[in-house]
Amino acid sequence: MDFSEEWKSQFPVGSVFPYPCLITGESAHSLDDDFIPFPLIFSTTKSAAGKHSSRHFSGNPLHLLTCRNGEILILFPSRENSDRLACVVGRRERDNGGGFSLLKDSVFLLSPSFKNRIIGVSVISTADYASCSEVCDQFTKGFVLLCSHYEVHWLRVGVRNSTPLSQNLASATFKNQVAHACWSPYLPEESAVLLVNGELRLYDLNYCVGVKNLPVKFKGELVLKNLGSVISRESDNDWFCCEFGWHPRVLIVTSKTTVLMVDFRDKKVKVTVLAKIELCDAVKHHFIKSDRFQAFCKASFDGSLFSVATKYYLLLFDTRKPLDPVLQWDHHLDHVHYINMYRLSDLRPSNGKLKWASDSGYVILVGSFRNCEFSLFCYGRHPVVDLKPSWTSNSGS
């Protein structure tokens, strides 16, 4: 890794913080409204959903859709086969130490049965955007992507007369298995779908505007037919994640061995290798032949930073410095398939003696829902050292 001062100066990264103190109780009321600890949500929803809870979801089954009125729709796969989308409605209680409570005891089934198990969910809230396209109506609160093994469904979710509801706008069927699907953080109507064989497609819900018979059959725009052929890995059928990068026409895709940046702003698609699995074990602590990328996350607060977890390591990368990890940890966790990145100020109040650390610190949450084990990894700027002595000398005395 490059530890030169010139390279360090480009990052808010210089030292690793100790395990942060996450303050709860009355002093925690100033936490970011968009952050709700998922263990609390999971226990709350499980008690409300009862037999409707999904038992087949490999990742976090709960997804939050924030409404402009402060209500939060908690979405998750439901029924014995996890083939329907369900929802409970909640709100953060500012007068109760920042706690979270359900507004209704009922579990709402938002979709009909898709006949196939839902293995992936992605949501985007229209509350984050000042305006939306004609695909939104007055009741729309956001959009949901539902993935089964060979299908993807695009849903519009809203609230009418205090009751959550949904409408299936479009669907697509594939010959190869679906690896992942994600929404664009720049254009809420756009999304990307990645297949396990490396096929990458872009979709736009504006295609549904004016269509009377919904859902429509989506074909989308082909970005690349085979990502593996671009990097001389045509036999690589282990692609598992895609996210939008720093631009609406830049995607970051991940397989078990490679992380790529796909730039399709021009007619000729440009592909850059950002990380390779064989470069992760620089200190030779583990047998590299058995290691694989298992989880990926792009920082929502920085379009250039992303993190990946292997069987042994957690690594922080920047797209401006390919193949060179900024930071690396040995995570000591089993079956890691969940990873997320936060500002430290999102997890605790930014005031008092903790303000500097909270404002300049960042957190990577890594873990496994299979084992119910999670760890926090922290990083941030070098502390500012005041070299001025606390005493003064008066030469005239």
User: Do residues 152 and 146 make contact, with C-beta atoms less than 8 angstroms apart?
Assistant: yes
pTM of the entire structure? 0.80
Whether the bond between 215 and the residue before it is cis, its omega within 30 degrees of 0, is yes
Higher pLDDT, 50 or 236: 236
d(CA 229, CA 226): 6
Mean pLDDT across the chain, nearest whole number? 78
Domain extents for the chain? 60-226
**Averaged pLDDT, 264-292:** 80
Who's near 212: CB < 8 A, 6+ residues apart? none
Q: Which region among 64-68, 80-84, 275-279, 379-383 has the lowest average model confidence (pLDDT)?
A: 379-383
Residue with tokens 């929502």, as numbered in its chain:
300
Residue 229 parent element (H or E): helix 227-230
Of 113, 74, 254, which is closest to residue 180 (Cα–Cα)?
Answer: 254
Question: Side by side, which strands form the sheet with 373-380?
Answer: 338-343, 361-368, 373-380
Of 205, 161, 213, which is closest to residue 181 (Cα–Cα)?
Answer: 205
pLDDT (0 to 100) of residue 201 = 97
pLDDT (0 to 100) of residue 31 = 33
Q: How confident is the model at residue 375 (pLDDT cuts 50, 70, 90)?
A: very high
Instruction: Give the CA count within 13 Å in the CB-facing half-sphere of 320.
Output: 9
Pairing of strands 338-343, 327-330: unpaired
Of 216, 375, 311, 301, which is closest to residue 34 (Cα–Cα)?
Answer: 301
d(CA 320, CA 173): 36
Q: Dump strand ranges (E) for 198-304.
A: 200-204, 216-217, 221-224, 239-244, 250-255, 258-263, 270-276, 293-298
Q: Best-predicted range by mean pLDDT among 25-29, 45-49, 206-210?
A: 206-210
Question: Is 230's pLDDT higher than 80?
Answer: no
Question: Is 264's pLDDT higher than 90?
Answer: yes
pLDDT, tens digit (0-9, with 9 covering 90-100), for 148-201:
999 999 999 988 887 888 989 999 999 999 999 999 999 889 999 999 999 999
The percentage of residues in the chain with a pLDDT greater than 70, rounded to a whole number, is 73
Question: Is 254's pLDDT higher than 80?
Answer: yes
What are the angstrom distances between the C-alpha of 353 and each of 21, 30, 158, 343? 12, 15, 42, 17
Q: How confident is the model at residue 10 (pLDDT cuts 50, 70, 90)?
A: very low
Pairing of strands 338-343, 151-160: unpaired
Q: Which DSSP state fits 199?
A: -
pLDDT (0 to 100) of residue 12 = 42
pLDDT (0 to 100) of residue 273 = 94
Question: Is 236's pLDDT higher than 90?
Answer: no
Beta-ladder partners of 78: 53, 84
pLDDT (0 to 100) of residue 131 = 64
d(CA 342, CA 347): 8
Question: Is 140's pLDDT higher than 90?
Answer: no
Handedness of CA 343, 345, 348, 354 (dihedral sign): positive
